[in-house]
Chains A and B, each alone.
Chain A
Amino acid sequence: MHHVVLDHWSRRHSVIHARDARAKLAVAILLLAAVATVPVRRYVDVAGFSALLAAATGLARLPLLGLAWRAALVLPFSVAFAVMSWLSGDPGRAASLLVKSYVSAFTVVLLLSTTAFPDIARAAEWFRLPRPVILLMQFVYRYLFVISEQAQHMWQASQCRGGARRAGRRRHFRAAAGALSVLFARSYERAEGIQRAMAARGFGGRFVTLSRWRFGWADALFLAVSVMAIAGLRSFEVASWTR
Chain B
Amino acid sequence: MHIPDGFLSTPVWAALDAGAIVGVSVLSRSAGREVEETRIPLLGVMGAFVFAAQMINFPVGPGTSGHLVGAALLAYTLGPAAASFVMTAILAVQALVFQDGGLLALGANVFNMAFAGVLAAYLPYRLLRGGNTAIFLGASLSVLTSAALAMGELLISGVPIRPSLLMISVSLFVVSALIEGAITLAALRSLRALNPAWVKTPGRFTRVETLAVGSVAIVLAAFGVMLASGMPDGLERLLEDAGVAARAKPIIRAPLADYEAVFLRSEWLKKASAGLAGLALIYTLCLLAGRLLARRGRS
Contacts and interface: CB of A to CB of B under 8 A. Distances in A.
Whether the complex brings A and B within 8 Å at their CB atoms is answered: yes
A169 B38 contact: no
Interface in A183-211: 183-185, 187-188, 190-192, 194-195, 198, 203, 205-207
B38 A205 contact: yes
B6 A100 contact: yes
B216 interface: no
B103 A151 contact: no
Contacts of A194: 41, 45
A88 interface: yes
A138 B101 CA distance: 18
A138 B97 CA distance: 12
Nearest to A100: B6
Interface stretch (B132-140, B158-166, B259-267): B158-166
A151 B52 contact: yes
B186 A184 contact: no
Contacts of B86: 136, 140
B287 to A, nearest CB: 32
Nearest to A158: B56
Interface in A60-83: 70-71, 73-74, 77-78, 81
A40 B46 CA distance: 40
B92 A137 contact: yes
A143 B44 contact: yes
A179 to B, nearest CB: 6
Given A93-B158, A133-B89, A187 B49 contact: yes
A130 B41 contact: no
A88 B159 CA distance: 10
B99 A139 contact: no
A16 interface: no
B160 A84 contact: yes
A132 interface: yes
B56 A142 contact: no
Interface size class of A (residues with CB under 8 A): 35 or more
A183 B50 CA distance: 10
Given A37-B10, A101-B4, A173-B59, A139 B40 contact: yes
B44 A136 contact: yes
B189 interface: yes
Report, as a range, how many residues of chain B touch the other chain.
Answer: 35 or more
A3 interface: yes
Interface stretch (A45-53, A103-111, A217-225, A232-240): A103-111
B159 A140 contact: no
B56 A35 contact: no
Contacts of A97: 6-7, 159
A interface majority secondary structure:
helix
A88 B48 contact: no
Interface string B19-39: 001001100100100011110
Contact of B4 (A2, A78, A184, A198): A78
B45 A177 contact: no
B96 interface: yes
Contacts of B55: 148, 151-152, 155
A147 B45 contact: yes
Interface string B246-271: 00000000000000000000000000
Interface in B38-92: 38, 40-49, 51-53, 55-60, 68, 77, 85-86, 88-90, 92
Interface of A: 2-3, 6, 28-29, 32-33, 35-37, 40, 70-71, 73-74, 77-78, 81, 84-85, 87-88, 90, 93, 96-97, 99-105, 108-109, 111-112, 117, 120, 129-133, 135-144, 146-148, 150-152, 155, 164, 169, 172-174, 176-185, 187-188, 190-192, 194-195, 198, 203, 205-207
Q: Which 6 interchain pairs have the tightest Cβ spacing?
A: A139-B44, A100-B6, A177-B186, A104-B5, A181-B190, A101-B6
